[in-house]
Structure 1
Amino acid sequence: MAYTITNKCISCDLCKTICPSNAIKIVGDRPWIDPELCTNCVDSIYSVPQCKAGCPTFDGCVEITSDYWENWFKNYKNVISQVTNKTDYWENWFKTYSQKYSEHKTVNS
C-alpha cells in the first residue's frame, strides 16, 4: 500500500527530504508520491513511514487502500463519529443548562 499527499499539505517539502526511497516528486507546485517507488519504509531502518512521521500537519500524508469497501467503511465510521459527537455535545449542553436553570430556580424561590 502506498501513501498519498492530501489537500491538507502545506507544501513544506519536508516529506521530500526525508523519504528514503525518493518516491516524493514535485509535480507543478504540489508534492506527489510515486506509488511505484513508495515502499512504506518497509525493509528499511525506519519502523514507520517517514512521510507520515515527518509531516507537520499530521494529515498531509495518508495511506491509500485499494479496497473499495475498506475505504467506504473508513469514511462511514468517520461520518458516524462526527454525528455522534454532535449529539453528545447537545446532550451535554442540555444537561448543563437544565442543571443551571434548576439551581437558579431554587435560589430565587
Structure 2
Amino acid sequence: MPYTITQSCIGCRRCLSACPTGAIQTDGSTKFWIASDRCNQCQGTYGVAQCWAICPTNEGCVPLTSGVAAVPLSSASERSPDYWEAWFATYTRMVARLRGVQESSYWHHWFDTYSQALKRLQTAH
C-alpha cells in the first residue's frame, strides 16, 4: 500500500532525502506527491515508512488506502468566527480520526521497550 501526501504538507522537503526509493516527487516549489509505482512503504529497508516518520506535521504523509487522507482537514464550522464552536468542531474531527487509525505495532514495540528500560533505570537507583 503506497503512501500519499495530504494537504497538511508544509513543504519542509525533509521527506525528499528520507525516502529510500526516491518515490517522493516535487514540481520544484511547493507541490509534492508520491509516485505510487515506486513507493514500497520502506519494506525491507525500515520498519516504518520514512516519509511518515520524518514528517513534522504527523499527517502530511499517510497510507493511501487508510481513509485518513479522505477526511477533510477543516470544515465550515471550524472556520466559524465563534471560538468555541470551532474548537468543538476541531476536537470532534480529531477524535474521529484517532478512532479510525489503527495503531502501529512498531509504536507498541517501541513503547514497551522504552517502558522496560525506564523501569530498569528506576530500580537501579
Which residue does 1:40 correspond to in 2?
Answer: 41
The CA distance in 2 between the partners of 1:26 and 1:82, in whole Å, is 33
The CA distance in 1 between the partners of 2:49 and 2:38, in whole Å, is 13
Q: Normalising by the residue count of structure 1, what TM-score does the alignment of the two structures yield? A: 0.59
Structure number with greater Rg is 1
Which residue does 1:82 correspond to in 2?
Answer: 92
Q: Give the letter aligned to residue 39 of structure 1.
A: N
Q: Normalising by the residue count of structure 2, what TM-score does the alignment of the two structures yield? A: 0.52
Relative to total residues, which structure has the larger helix share, 1 or 2? 1
State the Cα RMSD in Å: 2.6
- 1:25 partner SS: strand
Gaps of 5+ in 1: 86-109
Which residue does 1:14 correspond to in 2?
Answer: 14
Identical aligned residues as a percent: 40
Which residue does 2:119 correspond to in 1?
Answer: none
1:29 is displaced (CA, Å) by 2.7
What is the aligned length?
74
The CA distance in 2 between the partners of 1:56 and 1:5, in whole Å, is 13
**Greater RCO between the two (CA within 8 Å, min separation 6)?**
1
